[in-house]
Amino acid sequence: DAGITQSPRHKVTETGTPVTLRCHQTENHRYMYWYRQDPGHGLRLIHYSYGVKDTDKGEVSDGYSVSRSKTEDFLLTLESATSSQTSVYFCAISEGRGRDTQYFGPGTRLTVL
Amino acid sequence: DQQVKQNSPSLSVQEGRISILNCDYTNSMFDYFLWYKKYPAEGPTFLISISSIKDKNEDGRFTVFLNKSAKHLSLHIVPSQPGDSAVYFCAGTGGFKTIFGAGTRLFVKA
């Protein structure tokens, strides 16, 4: 199994509070991704990173920001959480872009009340 | 605009029979397709892929078929086993972004 961990695994928070999710990899892969999984929508890309300090937006980036200060860590921040951001969040990594297999972390279940 | 569609939310199959999961796509730029499998409380894991220059790729019990003219692909599992019960995601990519379908939940009955 690819070495990917996510923390926390579960979080309940209130509307308007900031939330940061962490993804940590031990594979030294260049690309890192944040997805959200919702019923009927599958996996939707929020943001991705193609190197330290290099990030770009995905399909559903509004309300989210990311940072990557080290190869192994990719942080997802909800500046002011809303109920629509209640979801399961997955981090993924890959050596290359697009056609390369992505390896997913175990997920973080976030509930915004 | 759903570029990758899995129109069957769920599928139930008897153990030992064939499972066929379908996927349609609209983006003509996709040239590579992947299937991922997901168990509850776990992240998705890669299952099998196919390049657009092929129409079939096989790996053990799993075969993916691609019909480019119809923009359709399917995943065949033969024979189906109870351990195959999971959510299966189809994904397409043109080299940049990977777009996932909504998933199909497969139930394999013993």
Supply the mean pLDDT for chain B: 95
Q: Which residues of A fall within a CB distance of 8 Å from B4?
A: 42
Residue A1 has pLDDT above 60, yes or no: no
Count of Cβ atoms closer than 10 Å to residue B52 Cβ: 15
Distance CA B22, CA B3 (A): 14
- Tell me the shortest Cα–Cα distance from A22 to chain B, in angstroms: 15
Cα–Cα distance measured from residue B21 to residue B103, given in angstroms and rounded to the nearest whole number? 10
- pLDDT per position as a tens digit, A86-108: 999 999 999 987 778 899 999 99
pLDDT tens, residue by residue, B56-107 = 999 999 999 999 999 999 999 999 999 999 999 999 998 778 899 999 999 9
Residues A66-79: what's their mean pLDDT?
96
How buried is A81 (Cβ within 10 angstroms: 0-12 exposed, 13-18 middle, 19+ buried)? Answer: buried
Q: Which domains does chain A have, with CATH numbers?
A: 4-112 (2.60.40.10)
Residue-level pLDDT at A31? 94
Nearest CB to A98 within list B42, B96, B101: B96
pLDDT digits (tens, 9 = 90+) for B25-52: 999 999 999 999 999 999 999 999 999 9
Longest CA–CA span in chain A (Å) reads 38
Domain housing B61: 4-109
3-state secondary structure of B83: helix
Q: B44 vs A90: CB contact, 8 Å cut-off?
A: yes
pLDDT at A2: 64
Average pLDDT, chain A: 94
User: CATH number of the domain that B11 lies in?
Assistant: 2.60.40.10
Contact call for A42 and B95, based on CB within 8 A: no
Q: Cβ contacts (< 8 Å) between A99 and chain B: which residues?
A: 32, 49, 93, 95
Q: How many structural domains compose chain B?
A: 1
- Of A16-30, A46-60, A89-103, the poorest mean pLDDT is in A89-103
Instruction: Please report residues of B whose CB lies closer than 8 A to that of A58.
Output: 97
Q: Which of A98, A106, A107 sits opposite B93 (nearest CB)?
A: A98
